[in-house]
Structure 1
Amino acid sequence: MALKMMLAGAAAMMLRQIPLAVPVEQTPVVSHALDALPMEPAPIEPSWILAGEPMARVGLHSRSGDDAASTAVWDCTAGEFRWFFDWDETVMILEGEVHVTAQDGSERTLRQGDIAYFAGKTWATWRIDTYVRKIAFCRKRLPAPVALAYQLRNMLRGDRGSQGGLAA
Protein backbone atom coordinates (compact mmCIF):
# COMPACT_ATOMS: atom_id res chain seq x y z
CA MET A 1 0.00 0.00 0.00
CA ALA A 2 2.78 2.45 0.90
CA LEU A 3 4.57 1.64 -2.36
CA LYS A 4 1.38 2.34 -4.32
CA MET A 5 1.03 5.71 -2.57
CA MET A 6 4.64 6.60 -3.34
CA LEU A 7 4.22 5.62 -6.99
CA ALA A 8 0.99 7.61 -7.24
CA GLY A 9 2.72 10.62 -5.69
CA ALA A 10 5.67 10.34 -8.06
CA ALA A 11 3.30 10.05 -11.02
CA ALA A 12 1.41 13.13 -9.88
CA MET A 13 4.65 15.09 -9.59
CA MET A 14 5.68 14.05 -13.09
CA LEU A 15 2.28 15.03 -14.48
CA ARG A 16 2.70 18.49 -12.98
CA GLN A 17 5.78 18.93 -15.17
CA ILE A 18 3.82 18.33 -18.39
CA PRO A 19 2.59 21.63 -19.83
CA LEU A 20 -1.15 21.97 -20.22
CA ALA A 21 -2.40 21.86 -23.79
CA VAL A 22 -4.25 25.12 -23.18
CA PRO A 23 -2.25 27.52 -21.01
CA VAL A 24 -4.22 29.27 -18.28
CA GLU A 25 -4.14 33.01 -18.81
CA GLN A 26 -3.31 34.70 -15.53
CA THR A 27 -2.61 38.28 -14.59
CA PRO A 28 0.99 38.48 -13.35
CA VAL A 29 0.22 41.08 -10.65
CA VAL A 30 -3.10 41.72 -8.93
CA SER A 31 -3.42 44.69 -6.59
CA HIS A 32 -6.22 46.54 -4.85
CA ALA A 33 -6.46 49.24 -2.23
CA LEU A 34 -8.11 47.58 0.80
CA ASP A 35 -10.90 50.15 0.91
CA ALA A 36 -11.58 49.77 -2.84
CA LEU A 37 -12.05 45.98 -2.80
CA PRO A 38 -15.75 45.20 -3.39
CA MET A 39 -17.23 43.36 -0.40
CA GLU A 40 -20.17 40.95 -0.75
CA PRO A 41 -22.34 39.29 1.90
CA ALA A 42 -20.93 35.92 3.05
CA PRO A 43 -23.54 34.52 5.45
CA ILE A 44 -22.28 32.18 8.15
CA GLU A 45 -23.97 28.77 8.12
CA PRO A 46 -26.89 29.31 10.57
CA SER A 47 -26.30 26.00 12.40
CA TRP A 48 -22.75 27.18 13.23
CA ILE A 49 -23.90 30.35 15.03
CA LEU A 50 -23.72 30.02 18.83
CA ALA A 51 -24.64 33.57 19.90
CA GLY A 52 -25.64 36.90 18.39
CA GLU A 53 -26.29 37.69 14.76
CA PRO A 54 -22.85 37.91 13.14
CA MET A 55 -22.90 39.40 9.65
CA ALA A 56 -19.91 38.51 7.48
CA ARG A 57 -18.70 39.88 4.15
CA VAL A 58 -15.91 38.84 1.82
CA GLY A 59 -14.00 40.50 -0.99
CA LEU A 60 -12.02 38.18 -3.25
CA HIS A 61 -8.67 39.72 -4.03
CA SER A 62 -7.10 36.99 -6.16
CA ARG A 63 -7.18 33.31 -7.07
CA SER A 64 -4.30 31.21 -8.41
CA GLY A 65 -4.49 29.90 -11.96
CA ASP A 66 -4.81 26.31 -10.71
CA ASP A 67 -7.60 27.32 -8.29
CA ALA A 68 -5.62 25.88 -5.37
CA ALA A 69 -5.00 29.18 -3.56
CA SER A 70 -6.84 32.43 -2.98
CA THR A 71 -6.51 35.68 -1.08
CA ALA A 72 -9.50 37.57 0.30
CA VAL A 73 -10.50 40.24 2.77
CA TRP A 74 -13.19 39.13 5.24
CA ASP A 75 -14.99 41.04 7.97
CA CYS A 76 -17.65 40.23 10.52
CA THR A 77 -19.76 41.94 13.16
CA ALA A 78 -20.28 40.77 16.75
CA GLY A 79 -21.27 37.19 17.45
CA GLU A 80 -19.99 33.74 18.28
CA PHE A 81 -19.86 30.85 15.85
CA ARG A 82 -18.06 27.66 14.97
CA TRP A 83 -16.09 27.68 11.73
CA PHE A 84 -14.86 24.79 9.60
CA PHE A 85 -11.60 25.48 7.78
CA ASP A 86 -11.93 23.38 4.64
CA TRP A 87 -8.64 24.79 3.31
CA ASP A 88 -5.40 25.68 5.10
CA GLU A 89 -5.75 29.35 6.00
CA THR A 90 -3.32 31.98 7.20
CA VAL A 91 -4.93 35.19 8.44
CA MET A 92 -3.67 38.63 9.36
CA ILE A 93 -5.98 40.74 11.50
CA LEU A 94 -6.37 44.20 9.97
CA GLU A 95 -8.84 45.69 12.44
CA GLY A 96 -10.62 44.67 15.65
CA GLU A 97 -10.08 41.40 17.45
CA VAL A 98 -11.38 37.85 17.69
CA HIS A 99 -11.22 35.29 20.50
CA VAL A 100 -10.49 31.88 18.97
CA THR A 101 -10.88 28.48 20.60
CA ALA A 102 -9.30 25.70 18.54
CA GLN A 103 -10.74 22.19 18.47
CA ASP A 104 -7.95 21.10 20.86
CA GLY A 105 -9.31 23.59 23.44
CA SER A 106 -6.45 26.11 23.15
CA GLU A 107 -7.54 29.75 23.26
CA ARG A 108 -6.04 32.81 21.63
CA THR A 109 -7.04 36.42 21.11
CA LEU A 110 -6.01 37.78 17.73
CA ARG A 111 -5.68 41.56 17.41
CA GLN A 112 -4.67 44.03 14.72
CA GLY A 113 -1.31 42.98 13.25
CA ASP A 114 -1.48 39.38 14.53
CA ILE A 115 -0.96 36.49 12.12
CA ALA A 116 -2.45 33.02 12.67
CA TYR A 117 -2.55 29.72 10.78
CA PHE A 118 -5.56 27.38 10.75
CA ALA A 119 -4.99 23.88 9.43
CA GLY A 120 -7.48 22.65 6.87
CA LYS A 121 -10.11 20.11 7.92
CA THR A 122 -10.32 21.60 11.45
CA TRP A 123 -12.94 23.49 13.47
CA ALA A 124 -12.53 26.60 15.61
CA THR A 125 -14.94 28.74 17.60
CA TRP A 126 -14.76 32.46 16.88
CA ARG A 127 -16.10 35.06 19.33
CA ILE A 128 -16.16 38.60 18.01
CA ASP A 129 -17.11 41.22 20.59
CA THR A 130 -17.60 44.14 18.17
CA TYR A 131 -15.97 43.74 14.74
CA VAL A 132 -13.04 42.04 13.03
CA ARG A 133 -11.47 42.45 9.60
CA LYS A 134 -8.82 40.10 8.25
CA ILE A 135 -6.95 39.19 5.15
CA ALA A 136 -7.07 35.46 4.47
CA PHE A 137 -4.56 33.45 2.45
CA CYS A 138 -6.18 30.10 1.65
CA ARG A 139 -4.61 27.01 0.09
CA LYS A 140 -6.23 23.70 -0.79
CA ARG A 141 -4.53 20.70 0.76
CA LEU A 142 -2.71 18.40 -1.62
CA PRO A 143 -3.85 14.79 -1.90
CA ALA A 144 -1.97 12.60 0.60
CA PRO A 145 0.19 10.80 -2.01
CA VAL A 146 1.33 14.10 -3.53
CA ALA A 147 2.03 15.63 -0.10
CA LEU A 148 4.02 12.52 0.84
CA ALA A 149 6.03 12.77 -2.38
CA TYR A 150 6.90 16.40 -1.58
CA GLN A 151 7.89 15.49 1.96
CA LEU A 152 10.12 12.67 0.71
CA ARG A 153 11.70 14.97 -1.85
CA ASN A 154 12.33 17.62 0.79
CA MET A 155 13.91 15.04 3.12
CA LEU A 156 16.21 13.87 0.31
CA ARG A 157 17.17 17.46 -0.46
CA GLY A 158 17.75 18.22 3.22
CA ASP A 159 14.95 20.83 3.39
CA ARG A 160 14.18 20.67 7.11
CA GLY A 161 13.55 24.33 7.87
CA SER A 162 9.98 24.44 6.56
CA GLN A 163 8.34 22.59 9.50
CA GLY A 164 7.29 19.70 7.29
CA GLY A 165 5.98 22.04 4.60
CA LEU A 166 6.05 21.61 0.87
CA ALA A 167 8.97 23.80 -0.11
CA ALA A 168 9.13 24.38 -3.85
Structure 2
Amino acid sequence: MGIHMMLASVVAMAARVAPFPSLPQPQAKTFVAKSGDTFDMRATPINPDWVISGNPQARTGEHSRSHDDAAYTAIWDCTAGEFRWYFYWDETVMILEGGVHIVAEDGTERTLQAGDVAFFAAGSWASWRVDDYVRKVAFLRKPFPKPVALAYRLKSLLRGDVQKSGIAA
Protein backbone atom coordinates (compact mmCIF):
# COMPACT_ATOMS: atom_id res chain seq x y z
CA MET A 1 0.00 0.00 0.00
CA GLY A 2 2.79 2.41 0.96
CA ILE A 3 4.67 1.85 -2.32
CA HIS A 4 1.48 2.56 -4.28
CA MET A 5 1.00 5.84 -2.40
CA MET A 6 4.60 6.87 -3.03
CA LEU A 7 4.36 5.96 -6.74
CA ALA A 8 1.10 7.92 -7.08
CA SER A 9 2.74 10.89 -5.36
CA VAL A 10 5.72 10.83 -7.71
CA VAL A 11 3.41 10.62 -10.74
CA ALA A 12 1.34 13.52 -9.41
CA MET A 13 4.45 15.63 -8.87
CA ALA A 14 5.75 14.82 -12.35
CA ALA A 15 2.39 15.72 -13.88
CA ARG A 16 2.42 19.03 -12.02
CA VAL A 17 5.88 20.11 -13.19
CA ALA A 18 6.09 18.54 -16.66
CA PRO A 19 3.45 19.20 -19.33
CA PHE A 20 2.21 16.26 -21.36
CA PRO A 21 3.75 16.69 -24.85
CA SER A 22 0.77 15.12 -26.62
CA LEU A 23 -1.68 17.69 -25.26
CA PRO A 24 -1.79 21.14 -26.85
CA GLN A 25 -0.63 23.78 -24.38
CA PRO A 26 -2.61 27.03 -24.22
CA GLN A 27 -0.69 30.19 -24.99
CA ALA A 28 -0.03 31.51 -21.51
CA LYS A 29 1.66 34.75 -20.65
CA THR A 30 5.27 34.36 -19.59
CA PHE A 31 5.62 37.92 -18.29
CA VAL A 32 2.98 40.05 -16.56
CA ALA A 33 3.51 43.62 -15.36
CA LYS A 34 0.85 46.06 -14.18
CA SER A 35 0.82 49.41 -12.48
CA GLY A 36 -0.60 49.26 -8.97
CA ASP A 37 -3.28 51.77 -9.97
CA THR A 38 -4.61 49.80 -12.96
CA PHE A 39 -5.97 46.70 -11.25
CA ASP A 40 -9.63 45.82 -11.78
CA MET A 41 -10.57 45.62 -8.09
CA ARG A 42 -13.64 43.48 -7.38
CA ALA A 43 -15.56 43.10 -4.14
CA THR A 44 -14.57 39.94 -2.28
CA PRO A 45 -16.75 39.92 0.82
CA ILE A 46 -15.31 38.51 4.01
CA ASN A 47 -17.28 35.54 5.33
CA PRO A 48 -19.82 37.15 7.74
CA ASP A 49 -19.16 34.37 10.28
CA TRP A 50 -15.52 35.52 10.44
CA VAL A 51 -16.27 39.21 11.15
CA ILE A 52 -15.61 40.14 14.79
CA SER A 53 -16.46 43.85 14.63
CA GLY A 54 -17.11 46.65 12.19
CA ASN A 55 -18.03 46.28 8.55
CA PRO A 56 -14.78 45.49 6.72
CA GLN A 57 -15.08 45.74 2.94
CA ALA A 58 -12.47 43.79 0.97
CA ARG A 59 -11.57 43.90 -2.71
CA THR A 60 -9.19 41.83 -4.83
CA GLY A 61 -7.49 42.49 -8.14
CA GLU A 62 -5.78 39.55 -9.84
CA HIS A 63 -2.27 40.17 -11.10
CA SER A 64 -1.27 36.74 -12.40
CA ARG A 65 -1.58 32.96 -12.10
CA SER A 66 0.99 30.26 -12.76
CA HIS A 67 0.41 28.01 -15.74
CA ASP A 68 -0.54 25.11 -13.46
CA ASP A 69 -2.85 27.27 -11.26
CA ALA A 70 -0.76 26.35 -8.21
CA ALA A 71 0.39 29.95 -7.63
CA TYR A 72 -1.50 33.23 -7.71
CA THR A 73 -0.57 36.89 -7.18
CA ALA A 74 -3.10 39.58 -6.34
CA ILE A 75 -3.60 43.00 -4.83
CA TRP A 76 -6.05 42.98 -1.90
CA ASP A 77 -7.38 45.86 0.14
CA CYS A 78 -9.77 46.23 3.05
CA THR A 79 -11.46 48.97 5.04
CA ALA A 80 -11.70 49.19 8.84
CA GLY A 81 -12.93 46.20 10.82
CA GLU A 82 -11.81 43.12 12.68
CA PHE A 83 -12.13 39.56 11.40
CA ARG A 84 -10.63 36.10 11.51
CA TRP A 85 -9.10 34.78 8.31
CA TYR A 86 -8.45 31.21 7.21
CA PHE A 87 -5.52 30.64 4.85
CA TYR A 88 -6.38 27.91 2.35
CA TRP A 89 -3.05 28.41 0.54
CA ASP A 90 0.45 29.35 1.73
CA GLU A 91 0.45 33.13 1.52
CA THR A 92 3.23 35.68 1.62
CA VAL A 93 2.06 39.28 1.87
CA MET A 94 3.74 42.65 1.54
CA ILE A 95 1.84 45.61 2.93
CA LEU A 96 1.73 48.42 0.37
CA GLU A 97 -0.38 50.98 2.21
CA GLY A 98 -1.96 51.39 5.64
CA GLY A 99 -1.59 48.75 8.29
CA VAL A 100 -3.09 45.76 10.06
CA HIS A 101 -2.72 44.26 13.53
CA ILE A 102 -2.34 40.47 13.32
CA VAL A 103 -2.86 37.88 16.06
CA ALA A 104 -1.77 34.42 14.89
CA GLU A 105 -3.18 31.14 16.22
CA ASP A 106 -0.18 30.70 18.51
CA GLY A 107 -0.81 34.10 20.11
CA THR A 108 1.96 35.93 18.25
CA GLU A 109 0.98 39.56 17.69
CA ARG A 110 2.42 41.93 15.12
CA THR A 111 1.38 45.17 13.48
CA LEU A 112 2.25 45.15 9.78
CA GLN A 113 2.71 48.46 7.98
CA ALA A 114 3.82 49.54 4.51
CA GLY A 115 6.97 47.66 3.56
CA ASP A 116 6.48 44.77 6.00
CA VAL A 117 6.44 41.19 4.70
CA ALA A 118 4.73 38.24 6.43
CA PHE A 119 4.05 34.56 5.73
CA PHE A 120 0.92 32.58 6.66
CA ALA A 121 0.95 28.79 6.27
CA ALA A 122 -1.93 27.04 4.55
CA GLY A 123 -4.40 25.63 7.06
CA SER A 124 -3.85 28.36 9.64
CA TRP A 125 -6.09 31.08 11.10
CA ALA A 126 -5.19 34.64 12.08
CA SER A 127 -7.19 37.57 13.42
CA TRP A 128 -6.86 40.80 11.46
CA ARG A 129 -7.71 44.24 12.86
CA VAL A 130 -7.70 47.01 10.29
CA ASP A 131 -8.01 50.39 12.04
CA ASP A 132 -8.42 52.44 8.85
CA TYR A 133 -7.32 50.77 5.61
CA VAL A 134 -4.81 48.20 4.37
CA ARG A 135 -3.58 47.35 0.87
CA LYS A 136 -1.28 44.39 0.24
CA VAL A 137 0.19 42.31 -2.51
CA ALA A 138 -0.41 38.62 -1.85
CA PHE A 139 1.64 35.77 -3.26
CA LEU A 140 -0.28 32.51 -2.84
CA ARG A 141 0.86 28.95 -3.49
CA LYS A 142 -1.03 25.70 -3.14
CA PRO A 143 1.03 23.40 -0.93
CA PHE A 144 1.95 19.96 -2.24
CA PRO A 145 0.14 17.01 -0.60
CA LYS A 146 2.41 15.54 2.11
CA PRO A 147 3.58 12.49 0.09
CA VAL A 148 4.43 14.69 -2.90
CA ALA A 149 6.23 17.21 -0.66
CA LEU A 150 8.29 14.38 0.82
CA ALA A 151 9.18 13.07 -2.65
CA TYR A 152 10.16 16.59 -3.72
CA ARG A 153 12.38 17.04 -0.66
CA LEU A 154 14.02 13.66 -1.22
CA LYS A 155 14.67 14.52 -4.86
CA SER A 156 16.30 17.80 -3.79
CA LEU A 157 18.38 15.98 -1.18
CA LEU A 158 19.58 13.40 -3.70
CA ARG A 159 20.55 16.21 -6.09
CA GLY A 160 22.56 17.81 -3.29
CA ASP A 161 20.32 20.85 -3.01
CA VAL A 162 20.03 20.86 0.80
CA GLN A 163 18.52 24.37 1.05
CA LYS A 164 15.53 23.50 -1.17
CA SER A 165 14.95 20.16 0.51
CA GLY A 166 14.29 21.77 3.88
CA ILE A 167 16.49 19.09 5.46
CA ALA A 168 19.41 20.36 7.55
CA ALA A 169 22.84 19.12 6.60
Give the TM-score of the pair, scaled to structure 2.
0.90
Structure 1 pair 95/163, CA: closer, same or farther in 2 (3 Å)?
farther
Counterpart Cα distance in 1 of 2:116 and 2:3: 42
Kindly provide the CA deviation profile for residues 35-73 of structure 1, in whole angstroms up to 9, marking residues without a partner as x: 111111111000000011101111011111211111100
8-17 vs 18-27, which moves further: 8-17
Partner of 2:79: 77
CA distance 1:20–1:99, change in 2 (3 Å): farther
**Distance in 2 between the 1:163 and 1:96 partners?**
36
Query: Structure 1 residues 149 and 163, CA, compared in 2 at 3 Å: closer, same or farther?
Result: closer
Match of 1:115 among 117, 122, 134: 117
- The percent identity for this pair of structures is 55
Question: Residue 34 of structure 1 aligns to a residue in which SS?
Answer: coil
Verify the 8 A CA contact 2:63 2:73 in the aligned structure 1. Answer: yes
C-alpha distance after superposition, 1:86-106 (max 9, x if no partner): 011110000011111111111
Query: Shift in Å at residue 14 of structure 1?
Result: 3.8
Aligned counterparts of 1:20 and 1:139: Cα–Cα separation in 2: 27
* Structure 2: 5+ residue stretches without partners: none
Cα RMSD of the aligned pairs, angstroms, is: 1.7
Distance in 1 separating the partners of 2:119 and 2:3? 32
Aligned length: 165
1:1-168 equivalent positions in 2, closer than 5 A: 1-15=1-15, 16-17=17-18, 18-19=20-21, 21-162=23-164, 164=166
TM-score, length-scaled by structure 1: 0.90
C-alpha distance in structure 2 between counterparts of 1:64 and 1:98, whole Å:
28
Give the Cα separation in 1 of the matches to 2:165 and 2:116.
Answer: 20
Flag structure 1 segments of 5+ consecutive residues without an equivalent.
none
SS of 1:117's partner is: strand
The secondary structure found in structure 2 opposite 1:50 is strand
